[in-house]
Chains A and B, each alone.
Chain A
Amino acid sequence: MDCHSRAAGESEAVSGAVVALVGQPNVGKSVLFHRLTGMRVAVGNYPGTTVEVATAAASFRPGWRILDTPGVLTFPSRTEDEQVAAAALLDPDLRAVVHVGDAKHLRRTLQLTLQLAETGLPMVLALNMADENASWGVDIDPGQLSAALGIPVVETVATNGHGLATLAERIRDCPPAAAHVRYPRSVEDAVAELAAGLPPARVRSRSLALLFLAGDPVAERWLAGRLDGTALAAAVDRRARLTSELGGPVPSVLRAARAAAADRILAAAAPAGPSRRPRLQTRLGRAAMHPVLGLPIMVAALAAMFWFVGVFGAGVLVDLLETQLFAEAVNPAITGWVERVVPFDAARDLIVGPYGLWTMGMTYALALILPIVTTFFLAFGVLEDSGYLPRVAVLTNRVFKSMGLNGRAVIPMVLGLGCVTMATLTTRTLDGRRDRILVTFLLALAIPCSAQLGVVVGLLAGVSAAAVAIWSLVVLVVLVGVGWLAAQLIPGSRTPLVTEMPPLRIPRLGGVAVRTVARLEWYLTEVIPIFLVGSLVVFALDLSGILGAIIDWAEPVVVGWLGLPAATATAFVMGFLRRDFGAAGLFAMAGAGLLTAPQLLVAMITLTLFVPCIASVLMIARERGAGAAAAIVGVAMPLAFAVGGVAARVLDAVGWTG
C-alpha cells in the first residue's frame, strides 16, 4: 500500500522487530502506542482518525519498533483503513501482534482475536479499557481466557498506564498463537487444498488461504504478486467452487463458526450479562444524540468551538502576532537587515517585497494561519477525544442523506473548517469510493478552512451582520444544492449510516495535546513549504509579466460578469494559490476603499467557492487521483464564478447596499 510505504520504509531499519497494534476502532490503540513508545512518533498520525500507519521506537526494548494501525472491524478487510491494517499483518518484519480489544466488548473482541490468531504470529491480547469494564461491574478472568486462547492476556488501562509494564513483558516473549477454529468440512477441504500451493509467508498459509477464500483484497493482491497465472486462476476457481458448495458467501460461514467458538470461550471466562450500568456517562451520551435535546447541545458545542477559534484564535492571538509582533517588530527588522545585506533589487523583492517569501509567505503562515489552526486543532481534538463527534453524525444524518451521504461525512466536513487539506486526508475513513469522492468535492468547493473563515467573517462582519448571514446562506445553499445534484450524477448508491456510539469521555489533556502537536507538526512541515512555493510562483508570475497577462485575461469576467474593479483579478489569481491569500488581498483593497459592500460580498462568495489552496489540490490528486482532482477543479471554478455573478445580479436587483 502506498500510504503505508513511508512507515514500512522506516521499519526496515531493524528487520524482524516490528510489533503491530491491531484492533477495532476506538479501543485505545493510539493511546497505547504513545505509552509504549514514549511518544517519539515518526510518522504523522491523527489518532481517532488514524489514517496512516505510525511507527516509533519501542521504549521497552531497544531496536524494536511499534506500529499503530488504523482500526479494523473484521476481516476480510473492506475499507481502506482495514486494508492498511491487513497489509501490516503481512509485513515480513513483524515480530508480534498486540491485539488491542475493548474489555467491555469481550464478545466482539474475541471474534477478532480468533481471526488474528489464525495467522500463527506471536501474539498478546491487551484487554484495554479495563476501568470502563469495571464500572459495568463485570469481572473477566484473564487466566482462564489466556488458557482458552493459548496466548497471554493482559488487562490494561492505556490512559493511566495500568497493566502496561506487564504488557511490555508479555510482548517481549510471547509464543506463536495457537488458537484454532474448526470450520465446516467443505471450508476445511478448500483451505487444505489451497494452503498446500501457497508461497511461504510470515503468517500461516492456513490464514492466507482463509483470507483469500473470504475475498480479502489485500491477501488477493499479495498472492497475485507471488503466484503464477495458472496457480492464481486455480485458486480463484477453487474459491468460486467453495462459494457454490456453501450456497452463500464464504465470510458468513466463517463468521458463524468463529462466533460459536468465541461464545464457548466466553462462557468459561466471563460471567454473562451486564450487571450495573454507568449511569451519568450513559445518560449524557444519550442526551447528546437525542432528537430534541441533542440540537441545543450541538449548537452550544459548535458555538463554543467557534468562539474559541474565531474570537480567541483569529482575534486575540492573530492581533498579538500579526499586528503587534510581526508588523511592528519582526518584519521591519528583517526588512532592514535584508536591505543592508542583499545587493540586488530583485533578490530583495524576492524576500521582503510585496509578494516576498518572508513578507507574504512566512508572515502569513506564522502570524495569521498558525494561531488559527492551532486553536482549531485544539478544539477539534477535544471534540474528538470526548466521543462526541459520532453523535453529531447521528443528528446531522438527515442533512447528509439529502446529499446522498450519511452522517459520518460530518467529521471530515467539520475538520475541513479547520484545514481542508487535512480533512481530505481523513475522507479515507468514509465508507465507499463514492462517498469519498463526493465529500472531497464538497470540501474543495464549499467548505472554507479556518484561515479563510477567519478572514472572511472578520471582513464581512465589518460590513454588517447581514453580509455574514448572506454569505453563509449562499455557501450553505450551494453546499447542499450541489451535494444533492452531485449525488444524483455520481453513480453508485448511498451507504446508509451504521456507526458505533462510543461512551462520552472526559477528554484527556495529554491526549489532546499530543494530537494537536502531531497535526501542527504536519502543518509546519507540509503546508508551509507550499506557502513558500506559492509566494515564489506569484513572485515569478509578477516579475515575468504573466500575472499581468492573466489579470488582463480574467478582467472581462471579473469586471463584466461579477461587476468588480479590475484589480480584484489579482486577488482571485492569488486565491488560486491559496483561498485566503485572495481574501487577504481583498481585505487590503477594501481597506483602501476600492470596494463597495455588495462588491466585497460578491468577491467573498466567489472566492470561497473557488478551488481551495494548492496544498489541498495536491492532496486531492494524491488521494483520489489526478483525474478526479482535475474534474473537481474544472467544476468548482466555473461554478464559483457562476454563483458569484448571480449573487451580484440579485444583490443589485434588490438594492442591497450593506
Chain B
Amino acid sequence: MIRLATCSLCGHRFDPAAGQACASCPIAPNCSLVCCPRCGHVGVDPGRSRLARALLRLQAGRSATGRSAAGRSLADLPRDAEAKVTGVAPALGDELIGRLHAYGLTPGCDVAVIQRRPVIVLAVDRTELAIEEDIARHIAVETES
C-alpha cells in the first residue's frame, strides 16, 4: 500500500518512500524528514516518527470507543465492550489456539473487555485473561447492537 504525504508548503501529494536522495543516504532508515519533489520544501513524515506513531495509536484507541460495527477483531473493541467470539485465525498457530481454548476462549464464547492498555485484559466466563494486541487482532468478534 502506498501512503501518500501532502507537502505543507505547496500542497503536492507524493509518495515519501520514493525520495531519490534518500536511497543513498546512510541515515535514511531513521530519518523522518521528507523532501517535496515539486517545490523542494523539507517537511516531516509522521509515519516515520516513533512519537507521532505512538500518538496516532493513542488516537486510534480513543476513536475505537466510538465504533460499534460487527465483524471486527477483539483488538478493535473499546473498554467495557461485550462481544461474542466468532473465530480464531489459524495464523495464530495451533499451540496458541490450544492454550486460548484451554482458558475458555473459543469460537462462540462471550467476552468483555476489562482494559485495553498496557495489555488487553478480557473476562471470558469467570476467567480474566491478558492477551497482547497482536493476538487479539486475530480473534474475530461480533457485537450486538
9 closest cross-chain pairs (CB), A and B: A501-B128, A74-B102, A249-B94, A496-B132, A73-B102, A291-B117, A394-B119, A497-B132, A104-B126
How far in angstroms is the closest Cβ of chain B from A473? 22
Q: Would B98 and A285 count as touching, CB distance under 8 A? A: no
* Chain B residue, CB-CB nearest to A289: B121
Tell me which residues across on chain B come within 8 A of A259, comparing CB atoms: 101, 106
A243-258 at interface with B (beta carbon < 8 Å): 248-249, 251-252, 255
With a cutoff of 8 Å between Cβ atoms, the chain A residues found around residue B118 in the complex are 291, 394-395, 397-398
Least CB distance from A471 to B in Å reads: 28
| CB contact between A496 and one of B101, B103, B125, B135 (< 8 Å): that residue | B135
Instruction: Give Cα A35–Cα B90 distance, bound, in whole angstroms.
Output: 42
Interface string of A75-87 (1 = CB under 8 A from B): 0101000000000
Is A612 part of the contact surface with B, judged by Cβ < 8 Å?
no
A173 to B132 CA separation, bound complex (whole angstroms): 45
A561–B90 alpha-carbon span in the complex (Å): 55
Other than A78-B99, A105-B125, give 11 A-B pairs with Cβ distance below 8 A. Answer: A24-B102, A78-B95, A108-B104, A108-B125, A108-B127, A259-B101, A393-B130, A397-B118, A497-B131, A498-B100, A500-B128
Which one of B126, B128, B130 lies within 8 Å of A498 (CB-CB)? Answer: B130
The answer to the question of B134 belonging to the interface, with a C-beta cut-off of 8 Å to chain A, is yes
Query: Within the complex, which residue of B99, B115, B126 is in contact with A290, where a contact is CB–CB below 8 Å?
Result: B115
Q: Once the chains are docked, how many angstroms separate the CA of A79 from the CA of B124?
A: 23
- Which residues 101-145 in B have Cβ within 8 Å of A in the complex? 101-104, 106, 114-115, 117-119, 121, 125-132, 134-135
14 A-B residue pairs with CB within 8 Å: A24-B102, A73-B103, A104-B126, A105-B126, A105-B127, A107-B104, A108-B125, A111-B102, A112-B102, A289-B130, A407-B130, A498-B100, A498-B132, A501-B129
Known: A74-B99, A108-B103. A291 touches B132 (CB 8 A): no
CB distance from A440 to the nearest CB of B (A): 22
Closest CB-CB distance, A183 to chain B, in whole Å?
16
A475 to B118, CA, bound (A): 25
Q: Tell yes or no: A286 within 8 A of B by CB.
A: yes
Instruction: Give the residue name and chain of the B residue nearest to A495 (CB).
Output: B96
A496 to B90, CA, bound (A): 16
Q: Once the chains bind, are B130 and A499 in contact (CB under 8 Å)?
A: yes
Question: Chain A 162-175, CB within 8 Å of chain B: the 1/0 string?
Answer: 00000000000000
Most chain-B CB neighbours within 10 Å: which of A285, A289, A397?
A289
Q: Is B81 interfacial (CB-CB < 8 Å)?
A: no
Residues of B within 8 A of A (CB): 90, 94-104, 106, 114-115, 117-119, 121, 125-132, 134-135
Distance between Cα atoms of A255 and B131 in the complex (Å)? 21
CA distance A274 to B94 in the complex (A): 29
Report which residue of A112, A251, A286, A499 has the largest number of chain B beta carbons within 10 angstroms of its beta carbon: A499
In this assembly, does A60 line the interface, its C-beta being within 8 Å of a C-beta of chain B? no
A390 at the interface (CB under 8 A from B): yes
A553 to chain B, nearest CB (A): 42
A interface residue numbers (CB < 8 A to B): 24, 73-74, 76, 78, 104-105, 107-108, 111-112, 136, 248-249, 251-252, 255, 259, 274, 285-286, 289-291, 390, 393-395, 397-398, 406-407, 496-501, 503
Q: Are A500 and B103 in contact (CB under 8 A)?
A: yes
Question: How far is it, in angstroms, between the C-alpha of A289 and the C-alpha of B120 when the chains are bound?
Answer: 10
CA gap between A291 and B125 in the complex, in Å: 23
Q: Which residues of A contact B114 (CB under 8 A)?
A: 286
- B104 near A497 with CB under 8 A, answer no
Q: How many whole Å from A505's CB to the nearest CB in chain B?
A: 14
A285 contacts across to B, CB distance below 8 A: 128
The complex places the Cα of A51 from the Cα of B55 at a distance, in Å, of 42
B106 and chain A: residue at smallest CB distance: A259
- Assess the B125–A74 pair: CB atoms within 8 A: no
Contact, CB under 8 Å: B98 / A498: no
Residue of B whose beta carbon sits closest to that of A258: B101
Q: In whole angstroms, how far apart are the Cα atoms of A406 and B135 in the complex?
A: 13
Q: B129–A248 contact, CB under 8 A?
A: no
A611 to chain B, nearest CB (A): 33
**Cβ of A214 to closest chain B Cβ, rounded Å:** 9
| A369→B114 CA distance, assembly (Å) | 42
Alpha-carbon separation in the docked complex, A76 to B99 (Å): 10
Q: Which partner residue on chain A sits nearest B104 by CB separation?
A: A108
